[in-house]
Amino acid sequence: MFRRQLFYGITLVLLVVIIFLLLRGRSAEKNRATQNIKLEQISSEQPSPVRAILPRDLEIVEAGVSWTRNPDEKNASVASHDITISNTGSGSYVSLLLRVEYINEAGRLVESRTHEVKEALPPGGKLRLTEIAIDGLPDVASDFRVTILSADLENYQN
């Protein structure tokens, strides 16, 4: 008799805990869905003889940022980037597409932006980009990563 009551008691406690966790998870998902999160969509590009996707011979040598508050928008910042790109390959590139990812202090991605650079980068050369201003960034962004998404070979331009 005592074992049966103990079994029913533990089963009841377990059911209450499971129902509590389900309801709490459901309300957390509902709160997350109601937040207005802006995500940038990047169209995928197919590699071709004239476009290199994630080129291996282009590398970011130096990347720096200075943050300023945007007085026009609430909870928004402006990031001013200084980026140096090196070409270690034998081809000349133009129309570099850079992706800048902004990260919060926890290391999570806050926002992602793209920036196109029309300047030519000769083989063995370096390209210094200064004062690339990106505005409308959330204040929680504290760090950034820069990657080169694609670059066009200069010899194949129309």
Residue 42 lies in a domain: no
d(CA 66, CA 150): 25
Residues 89 and 111 in one domain: yes
Residue range 5-51, pLDDT digits in tens: 999 999 999 999 999 999 998 888 877 766 655 666 666 666 555 77
Range of the domain at 129: 51-156
Residues 132 and 63 in one domain: yes
pTM given for the model: 0.63
Rg from Cα positions in the chain: 25
Q: pLDDT-based confidence at 101, cuts 50/70/90?
A: very high
d(CA 93, CA 90): 10
CATH, residue 134: 2.60.40.10
Residue 127 lies in a domain: yes
Residues 26 and 89 in one domain: no
Contact 121, 92 (CB under 8 A): yes
Q: pLDDT-based confidence at 158, cuts 50/70/90?
A: very low
What local confidence, expressed as pLDDT, does residue 16 receive? Answer: 95
The whole-number average pLDDT for the span 118-147 is 88
Say which residue the tokens 């377990």 belong to. Answer: 14
| Percentage of residues in the chain having pLDDT higher than 90 | 31
Q: pLDDT-based confidence at 157, cuts 50/70/90?
A: very low
